Amino acid sequence: MLLFVLKTANASQLDQLKEFTTVVIDTGDFNLIKQYKPTDATTNPSLLLAACNKPEYDEVIKEAVGYGIKATADKKPSPEDPELITNICDKLGVIFGTKILDIVPGYVSTEVDARLSFDTEATIKKAEKLIDMYSKVGVSKDRILIKIASTWEGIQAARKLQKKGIQTNLTLMFNFYQAIACAQADCTLISPFVGRILDWYKKSTGKDYTPEEEPGVQSVSRIYNYYKKFGHKTYVMGASFRNSGEITNLAGCDRLTIAPKLLDELSASTAQITRKLSPTHAEEECKDPEVKVTEKLFRWEMNEDAMATEKLAEGIRKFSEDIVSLENIIKEKVSNFIEG
């Protein structure tokens, strides 16, 4: 359904989109964040790893290494000390987040180690540690979203964190019942992965999809309409886009996190955008009955959804691999620090 059209003459698609949707940048690059002036920013291990491979971030890494060594001063520093490496990696995420918050007016997301995705209590402990680290450098928890994989265990961790006043962003979202479980847990925000859903269906069916009919676009639209119809306060933030058409077909979504390349495309085009999602029309658009998601229902529906099961597992593995790669960079820096 075509809902609203922005009339501003010669406005870029990005400026038009900002009339309907909060734009979030999907990068850890400070210069790009300054360039695009998003409201929020989100990072993940892959983005931190990419940034840390650039020489301009050497000082940031050095600061994190110095912190880690000081935090474990009771022991001789060693690149093989897992506590030291973990402290450095945690500090690195907090430094990036703090610097990003100097640029954006809203939230920054900081991700919990993906290797904790099936451990509720360890996820809570890590989240509390990160919030404490932010607090010690003067950053209020009101500006931080703790990013957690949307496993059942991750969602239960988010439920407990939200009750403690710690806000959460549930990521690696591929399934409708995942989304409902997150809303029932009062998560602040969810990140459904549009492009990764498309990747799976293209590979599975061999079919090409127009942006309007893409399964990922339809999934986010369904979740959005369900949330608005039944009064859930959790924000929907579409993520992982493959083309700008996916983005424009989700205009009106609460938030969209967009990579710099696609922000470039949207900035360069003045084609008119039509708002596709709106709370006003959600009840009419939503065809789903209200559902209470129990653990049994969650696990069954994930079992029945091959795409969601495969993409969730793949996403956790990829983020875990990137954490290991990041740790290897840190180990090398620690070795250099000791030798120097």
Measured distance CA(173)–CA(190) in Å, rounded:
7
Half-sphere CA count of 198, side-chain side, radius 13 A = 22
Amino acid at 177: Y
Interacting residues of 243 by C-beta distance below 8 A, sequence separation 6+: 211, 262
Can you tell me which residue has the tokens 């110095």?
66
Can you tell me which residue has the tokens 């964040």?
33
Burial class for 266, CB neighbours closer than 10 Å (0-12, 13-18, 19+): buried
Q: Is the dihedral of CA 167, 170, 171, 176 positive or negative?
A: negative
Can you tell me which residue has the tokens 């710690």?
166
Q: 83, 84, 148: which is closest to 119 by C-alpha?
A: 148
Can you tell me which residue has the tokens 């406005």?
11
Interacting residues of 18 by C-beta distance below 8 A, sequence separation 6+: none
Q: Which residues are catalytic?
A: 147
